[in-house]
Amino acid sequence: MKSSFRQSSQVAASIALACACAFTSPAQAQTVTSNDTMSGIHAGDVLVRLRAISIVPQASTTGTLSTLGVDVNNATVPELDFTYMIRDNIGVELILGTSRHQVTSDIGSLGGVNVLPPTLLLQYHFNHAGRVRPYVGAGLNYTLFYNNGLQAGGQPVSIGNHSFGPALQAGVDVQVTKSLFVNADIKKIWMHTDASLGGQPLGRLSIDPLVVGFGVGMRF
């Protein structure tokens, strides 16, 4: 009897489950699918991040600039970036920010110069459907040097205004709500400029900063 009752119960449960599935509307099924896609990131998503970044130059010099012991100070500024997910795991990120750096030497301060380094990176995102999503990126940096206030011995120091170089990146997004996440990020960017004084070359200044950032982001 107990065995027959158990078998009957299992059959009844199977029939009830089949009926429930049969009467589930397409709209309800779509809702379940949509709820699943609300976690993590997916192809077509746009991620916008706002970070506070610390720019730490890894400066090196050639020629007279080396003799003078030229170096570049750190800077802390905001940074805005946009990522478009072309696939679930692959995104393209554009990084925007600008900073002003003071240039020092053994003979004293040489003044300051502004740096605008828009950077385009191709990223790979691990665990794209999870709440903790590490990523790595690599790409190209273009640097514009502007508002040059450098001088030595009362004479203006001329510098090249443009630079191209590679960029590397690693970071992690941690989802807080459906659309909001926090972010930690580190980048290495290669940039340089050539300096001259009175038409005479002084050498090359390679800034090559390490950029460490923390911020928040939104998924659209």
- Residue range 91-131, pLDDT digits in tens: 999 999 999 999 999 989 999 999 999 999 999 999 999 99
Q: Which of 2-6, 194-198, 212-216 has the highest mean pLDDT?
A: 212-216
Task: Tell me what pLDDT residue 31 has.
Answer: 39
Query: How many of the other CB atoms lie within 10 Å of CB of 173?
Result: 27
Mean pLDDT across the stretch 63-92? Answer: 96
Query: What's the average model confidence in pLDDT over 182-186?
Result: 98
Q: Which of 13-27, 64-78, 165-179, 188-202 has the lowest mean pLDDT?
A: 13-27
Higher pLDDT, 78 or 107: 78
Beta bridge partners of residue 71, listed in sequence order: 104
Q: What is the pLDDT of residue 171?
A: 98
pLDDT at position 10: 46
Report the alpha-carbon angle 83-183-185, nearest 5: 80
Task: Give every CB contact of residue 49 below 8 A, 6+ residues apart in sequence.
Answer: 80, 81, 83, 183, 185, 215, 216, 217
Q: For the chain, give percent helix, strand, coil, nearest 5.
A: 15, 55, 25
Q: Look over the chain and give the mean of its residue pLDDT values, rounded to a whole number.
A: 86
> Pick from 75, 69, 83, 71: which is nearest to 53 by CA?
75
Its pTM stands at 0.78
Q: What are the C-alpha distances in Å from 119 to residues 62, 114, 172, 202?
A: 25, 16, 18, 28
Q: Which residue has the higher pLDDT, 23 or 154?
A: 154
